Chains A and B, each alone.
Chain A
Amino acid sequence: MVSGKGGTGKTTVATALAVALAEGGRRVLLLEVEGRQGIAQLFGLESIPYEQTHVAVAPHGGDVYALSVDPEAAMLEYLRMFYNIKRGGTALKKVGAIDFATTIAPGLRDVLVTGKAGESVRRRNRSGDLEWDAVVMDAPPTGRITRFLNVNDEVKDLARMGPIKNQAESVMRVIKSPETAIHLVSILEEMPVQETLDGIAELEVQGLPIGAVFVNMLQEETLPEQFITDGTGLGAEQVSAGLEAAGLAATPGLVASLQQEASDHRSRVLLQRAERERLDAAPVPLIDLPYLPSGVDLRGIAHLARTIREQAPRGRR
């Protein structure tokens, strides 16, 4: 499960993680659950249907398939699979029951979506092997993740007995099992870090399995340490001399512009470091991902996937 505050690059990280997990001939399913078609955008596709779609090949022969979970289709599939309700499905749709279940009923949408993920994790192919080596979900944002994952617990309590309760319990078993990891994506700014820390605390209280925090869009620190720590070491004369040595006219305007940029960079680096310290104090491993100056494209995703593999804890790939 990959969650994170809006704007932190959750979808990008989930996709890169799927590619990283697929490396070496594995089959990975990437699930989108909020219908934003963000994964499709990354691969330059119009949209991804409620049907596994081959989207990427990983190094050394792995495959990534994506699927966008449509709650309505999931509901009809669910009725068919578990209750053998076919005609009823159409009738339910006609009177607005499906609409009710997927948009208005508290949490039912989340039950359907997590149910689909649970089903994918357990699914076996004809030869009896697990269909997927890993399932990666581009999950709802951090602010809603605990509720989203706990929805089955809530439903279990509401239902008390009967088929829904059994279904909810079995999904909850998958979510709470040691095979599940909930990763949070953050960038080193105040609010996303705060949300990540709050999210970790919430998940811990609920006994949900936390994975790692992916620290995304890290700005590379290229300026000398002395300049970062005390703001000295980049005087106008120094910049002028450098520009002239490089064969450029060191106009006062240009020198001032570059100094300003350096000083903005310094502020960002200082902020980054302060926020990093707050994350360091949290009881979870951190995985650093660089800022991609040319934007997120396939090459960028491959680069992030490699970076993830390099930092993955041994034994957990």
Chain B
Amino acid sequence: MTPPSLDIDTILRDESTRILVCCGSGGVGKTTTAAAMALRAAEMGRHVVVLTIDPARRLAQSMGLTELDNTPRPVPGVSGEGSLDAMMLDMKRTFDELVEAHSDPERARQVLDNPFYQSLSSSFAGTQEYMAMEKLGQLRARADEEGTWDLIIVDTPPSRSALDFLDAPNRLGSFLDGRFIKILSAPAKGAGRGIGKVFGAGFSIVFGSLNKVLGTQLLSDVSSFVQALDSIFGGFRKRAEATYALLQEPGTYFAVVAAPEADALREASYFVERLSEENMPLSGLLLNRVTIAPADSLSVAEATDAAARLDEQEIHPETAAVLAMHAETLRAEGRQRGLAEHFCESHPAVAVAVIPALAADVHDLDGLRDIGALLADQPDHESFWDPATA
């Protein structure tokens, strides 16, 4: 089956497209794809900012990103009327700035100096997702105020699961709303042993358990930290909610990136289903690094047999090797097609674009342009879906 073809140029050119979020599991080429789309949109005349998370060193350099400074900087070498700014996310700095923006200097200092905060802001599984979301909100606000950018493209953190990007901020929010935070801050408020009277018997058990496991000193450390943070949490939550709402606005699109492997496609499937539950618009699946056999081709059997005939006679070893390689390419293509079709059968409405695997790494603007062109030119890759056309 051939899925609906994803026409990326229409989406990138359309001025009502304001935000494009690239999701997918780790190692599928999200960052490179996000950068390639950003460059393509900019060279179509749009004013683009791309937020990257941990790009490869040489790719970052080619975009003029030499340090992790949390500031969008113009990418040199973009042609045409448009513009492209790029930035790398500095998770810790974004978190620090958020604390500073939501509390008075003294309280901010208290939080920033707390060892628990320092650990939370640099290692909490989910902090990166939360901060990427926060940064997206900031970029959008700046775009609206200053008219700097008309398109924001966001790369997402290399999470365990693509869903983490959507879930992490909410997770923090639900914790803040919960009762647990009240218990944690109780000792600092001086409730101490009388906690059962204040919160009821259930809390007494909880508190007893916590004391047993954590020890009095650790519990009081945690407690004073939570209390300090408590007063600025409200602000966090509102912002997280606002950014989440931004993702549901018209003008926001998601592109799910996957490699043609079972694992990555399974993650993509989860994500596609989740987006539809949340009424978040999906532009389509970008199937990256696909093996596509050349247009003039043989069948697996023809290539294998021919190679065997040459090997038997011990003649033309080079051609035999190329034929064997060709058979392998065809087999890999067939396997990847099977996996892709499996995805498409489960999600028949999802538009798909395939991006052929390149023989070399991408580390300059020309490389990004090539990827953008391969992504846009879907009719060229028709043979992947329908090998009979080859």
Please report A residues at the B interface, Cβ cutoff 8 Å.
5-8, 11, 34-36, 38, 41, 79, 83, 85, 87-89, 91-92, 94-97, 99-100, 103-107, 109, 140-141, 143, 147, 151, 154, 157-165, 189-191, 194, 222-224, 227, 233-234, 238-239, 241-243, 245-248, 251, 253-254, 256-258, 260-265, 267-268, 271, 293-295
Contact = CB atoms under 8 A, between A and B. Distances in A.
A96 B316 contact: no
Contacts of B359: 263-265, 267-268, 271
A107 B205 CA distance: 24
B306 A246 contact: yes
B206 A7 contact: no
A85 B180 contact: no
B203 A258 contact: no
Contacts of A5: 26-27
A6 B206 contact: no
B126 A103 contact: yes
Contacts of A254: 296-298
B307 to A, nearest CB: 7
Interface stretch (B75-83, B114-122, B133-141, B371-379): B114-122
Contact of B160 (A34, A147, A227, A271): A34
Given A100-B175, A107-B123, A241-B316, A141 B208 contact: no
A36 B322 contact: no
A112 B180 CA distance: 19
Contacts of A160: 217-218
Top 7 nearest A-B pairs (CB, nearest first) are A7-B27, A242-B319, A6-B26, A162-B215, A6-B27, A253-B296, A88-B209
A159 B325 contact: no
Interface string B201-219: 0110110111011111110
A91 B202 contact: yes
A161 B297 CA distance: 69
24 contacts: A6-B27, A34-B160, A79-B213, A83-B209, A88-B205, A95-B179, A95-B202, A96-B179, A106-B116, A107-B124, A141-B158, A164-B213, A190-B361, A223-B318, A223-B322, A224-B318, A224-B321, A245-B315, A254-B298, A261-B322, A261-B326, A265-B325, A294-B335, A295-B335
Given A6-B25, A104-B175, A295-B335, A246 B310 contact: yes
B301 to A, nearest CB: 12
Interface stretch (B50-58, B245-253, B279-287): B50-58
A147 B306 CA distance: 53
A7 B158 CA distance: 11
B178 interface: yes
Interface of B: 25-28, 54, 56-58, 115-116, 119-120, 123-126, 158, 160-161, 171-172, 174-175, 178-180, 183, 202-203, 205-206, 208-210, 212-218, 221, 259, 262-264, 266, 293-298, 302, 306-307, 309-310, 313, 315-326, 328-329, 331-332, 335, 359-361, 363
A267 B262 contact: no
Contacts of B307: 246
A7 B263 CA distance: 9
A5 B27 CA distance: 7
Contacts of B361: 189-191, 271
Given A36-B160, A246-B319, A261 B325 contact: yes
Q: Which of B120, B203, B212, B213 has the most CB of A within 10 A?
A: B213
A271 B239 CA distance: 45
Contact of A243 (B25, B126, B214, B319): B319
A164 B217 CA distance: 11
A157 B28 CA distance: 37
Nearest to A264: B359
Contacts of A99: 174-175, 178, 180
Given A41-B262, A246-B323, 12 more contacts: A6-B27, A6-B28, A11-B263, A85-B209, A99-B178, A107-B123, A151-B123, A158-B116, A159-B218, A161-B217, A239-B319, A246-B316
B329 A261 contact: yes
A222 B325 contact: yes
A108 to B, nearest CB: 10
A126 to B, nearest CB: 29
A97 B210 contact: yes
A36 B26 CA distance: 12
Contact of B214 (A95, A164, A261): A164
Contacts of A247: 306, 309
Given A96-B175, A141-B158, A191 B56 contact: yes
B331 to A, nearest CB: 6
A88 B25 CA distance: 37
A107 B119 contact: yes
B61 to A, nearest CB: 12
A261 B206 contact: no
A256 B175 CA distance: 61
B123 A267 contact: no
Given A141-B158, A164-B214, A190 B363 contact: yes
Contacts of A7: 26-28, 259, 264
A95 B302 contact: no
A241 B329 CA distance: 22
A294 B328 CA distance: 9
A153 to B, nearest CB: 11
Contacts of B124: 104-107
A248 B326 CA distance: 14
Nearest to B32: A191
A248 B335 contact: no
Nearest to B310: A246
Nearest to B202: A91
Contacts of A191: 56, 361
A61 to B, nearest CB: 30
A160 B266 CA distance: 43
B318 A234 contact: yes
Contact of B213 (A87, A103, A163): A163
A103 B160 CA distance: 13
Centre residue among B54, B174, B321 by max chain A CB count within 10 A: B321
Contacts of A141: 26, 158
B172 A104 contact: yes
Contacts of A248: 298, 302, 306
Given A5-B27, A36-B160, A246-B309, A83 B212 contact: yes
B56 A161 contact: no
